[in-house]
Amino acid sequence: MSEDKIIVTISGKDGVGIVAEIATVLAKYEVNIEDIKQTIMQGCFMMFLLGDISKSKYSFKEIKEAVCASGQKLGMEIWMQKKEIFDKMHTI
């Protein structure tokens, strides 16, 4: 169901271990990564991730705080939102 899906957007200066760090945090919080796309444009790392939180015992807020804290540690900008909100924003 759409309310159990999250979209994570990550951007910042490219470096080693970005995907590994985010994937580790998501695994710790029992989030299943369903799709992931990334690119590097002139040294800028961009990643879009679709996750499923339906089997996580953690709240959306707890997961978001952990992912965003990880992003700060990496010096990356991270946005995380529920997919249903993301979809509605793009259908207006």
| Tens-digit pLDDT profile for residues 40-87 | 999 999 999 999 999 999 999 999 999 999 999 999 999 999 866 665
CB 25 within 8 A of CB 56: no
CA distance 78 to 55: 23
Task: Between 5 and 92, name the one with better pLDDT.
Answer: 5
pLDDT band at 3 (very low <50, low <70, confident <90, very high): confident
Q: Which domains does the chain have, with CATH numbers?
A: 2-90 (3.30.70.260)
